Amino acid sequence: MRAWIVTLAALASLASGPASAQGFAGLGLEVEGFAVPAPDPDFDFPADHGAHPEYRVEWWYVTATLEDAEGNAYGIQWTLFRSAMRPETGPGWGDPQLWMGHAALSTATAHYHDERLARGGVGQAGVRTSPFRAWIDEWSMISHAEAGADALSALHLSAAGPGFAYALDLTAEGPLVFHGEGGFSVKAPGGYASYYYSQPFYRVSGAITLEGREIAVTGQGWLDREWSSQPLAPTQDGWDWFSIVFDGGDRLMAFRLRDREGPDFTAATWIGPDGATEALPDGALRLTPLEEADVAGRPVPVRWRLQLPARGLDIETTPLNPQSWMPTLFPYWEGAIAVTGSHAGRGYLEMTGYE
């Protein structure tokens, strides 16, 4: 689950200012002519690493927790969103596919970010599958996987914005993992769903540049691929999403969709060190905000308690930088976290809908 509405609403609000999460005129809940995710998906790689223009939204989403030689922690984000005005592609400016890129780099005391917008059809942004390459402007995610290996198993990732840049190599040390029922990820009791898989096993090395100073870093990375045509249910305001790499080698993806009227919807995937997954149903995950911080003029819960009794998990998360705010067209919080408690580790937290 990621940044669903971010894509839709941000592209809708380009000129008219921030739109409300559900207020995207013309898109609403209707799915006019767009394909809808169906259960029991049969993925076809490398084609499915590429774009699915017949679906309304899609993203290639990388986060990584990094450390330099002196033990300073950093987090980076690289995201390419696709949003279709119509379920088709076309050459030139007539292509109804819109693209949006977000890049960020945070330290304990600073948060750098940049945003790019583009249209398909003219080469400014897009995704090619052979060889795999996703890009917007000079930001790119290029595969250098060996023949026969999954295209996403070895990536070079780069982006730059005001005051920051990074160029990182990502090498997968485990397989792709599929969320929900084999990659069919349900988002609400009513049946709203997406296709959703991840590559959570990246070992990362490379360099970040902070205010012109280059720093060698290493760490762990996580890539999410998700596409769908449906936005959230009408009463869902936003979500809190976690990706965590535990010191013991297990991984956890967990999210909660906050519902204005009914109970919140939760889902999680427990990922073993070998890539074996267990999808945890709605209600299995308990999330408790522990502390709010004033972020960009609004209260945002930045410390959390996560409980997953089925797995004996009871942890607390602490942000690397509580001010990891993305003041993009559609603003949200996205930042690196440290985990303590029954399990220790590091990860990323994304929170939307905190207006």
What letter would DSSP give residue 282?
Answer: T
312 near other proteins, judged by CB under 8 A: no
Q: Which is nearer to other proteins, 69 or 93 (by Cβ)?
A: 93
Whether 117 and 98 have beta carbons less than 8 Å apart is answered as: yes
Whether 78 and 91 have beta carbons less than 8 Å apart is answered as: no
Q: Minimum distance from CB of 15 to other proteins (Å)?
A: 4
Q: Which residue's structure tokens are 């998906």?
A: 41
Binding to other proteins by CB under 8 A, coded x per residue (else -) over 120-159, reads --xxx----------x-xx---------------------
> What are the Cα distances from residue 206, in Å, to 47, 68, 155, 166, 169?
28, 10, 12, 8, 6
Q: Which is nearer to other proteins, 27 or 253 (by Cβ)?
A: 27
Q: Side chain identity at 206, as an amino acid letter? A: G
Query: How many residues sit close enough to other proteins to count as binding (CB under 8 A)?
Result: 24
In 3D space, the residue among 78, 88, 81 whose CA is nearest the CA of residue 118 turns out to be 81
Q: Minimum distance from CB of 90 to other proteins (Å)?
A: 9
> Which run of H or of E encompasses 349?
strand 345-351
The upper half-sphere exposure of residue 89, i.e. CA atoms within 13 Å in the direction of its Cβ, equals 15
Q: Minimum distance from CB of 121 to other proteins (Å)?
A: 8
Whether 187 and 265 have beta carbons less than 8 Å apart is answered as: yes
Residue choice 18, 23, 46, 96 for contact with other proteins (CB under 8 A): 96
Residue choice 94, 131, 190, 272 for contact with other proteins (CB under 8 A): 94
> What are the Cα distances from residue 350, in Å, to 1, 100, 241, 254, 325?
10, 17, 5, 11, 10
Q: Minimum distance from CB of 229 to other proteins (Å)?
A: 16
Residue choice 117, 142, 145, 287 for contact with other proteins (CB under 8 A): 117
Q: Minimum distance from CB of 14 to other proteins (Å)?
A: 5
23 near other proteins, judged by CB under 8 A: no
16 near other proteins, judged by CB under 8 A: yes
- Helix or strand or coil: residue 119? strand
Q: Which is nearer to other proteins, 15 or 69 (by Cβ)?
A: 15
Query: Under rule CB under 8 A, which residues in 244-273 are in contact with other proteins?
Result: none
Q: Which is nearer to other proteins, 13 or 171 (by Cβ)?
A: 13
**Residues contacting 108, CB < 8 A, separation 6+:** 72, 73, 320, 321
Residue choice 8, 9, 11, 103 for contact with other proteins (CB under 8 A): 11
Q: Could you give the CA distance from residue 318 to residue 337 in angstroms, rounded to a whole number? A: 5
Q: Minimum distance from CB of 101 to other proteins (Å)?
A: 11
Q: Could you give the CA distance from residue 77 to residue 335 in angstroms, rounded to a whole number? A: 8
Q: Cis omega (within 30 of 0) on the bond before 131?
A: yes
Residue 47, burial from CB neighbour count under 10 angstroms (0-12, 13-18, 19+): exposed
211 near other proteins, judged by CB under 8 A: no
Task: Look at strands 164-172 and 154-161 and give their pairing.
Answer: antiparallel
Query: Under rule CB under 8 A, which residues in 153-192 are in contact with other proteins?
Result: 160
Q: Which is nearer to other proteins, 16 or 109 (by Cβ)?
A: 16
Whether 283 and 264 have beta carbons less than 8 Å apart is answered as: no
Query: Under rule CB under 8 A, which residues in 53-92 are in contact with other proteins?
Result: 85, 92
Interacting span for other proteins (CB under 8 A) from 9-17, 101-109, 171-179, 334-342:
9-17
26 near other proteins, judged by CB under 8 A: yes
Residue choice 1, 9, 98, 349 for contact with other proteins (CB under 8 A): 98
Interacting span for other proteins (CB under 8 A) from 31-39, 118-126, 195-203, 301-309:
118-126
Backbone phi and psi for residue 213, each to the nearest 5 degrees, phi listed first:
-100, 125
Sites of contact with other proteins (CB under 8 A): 11-12, 14-17, 25-26, 85, 92-94, 96, 98, 117-119, 122-124, 135, 137-138, 160
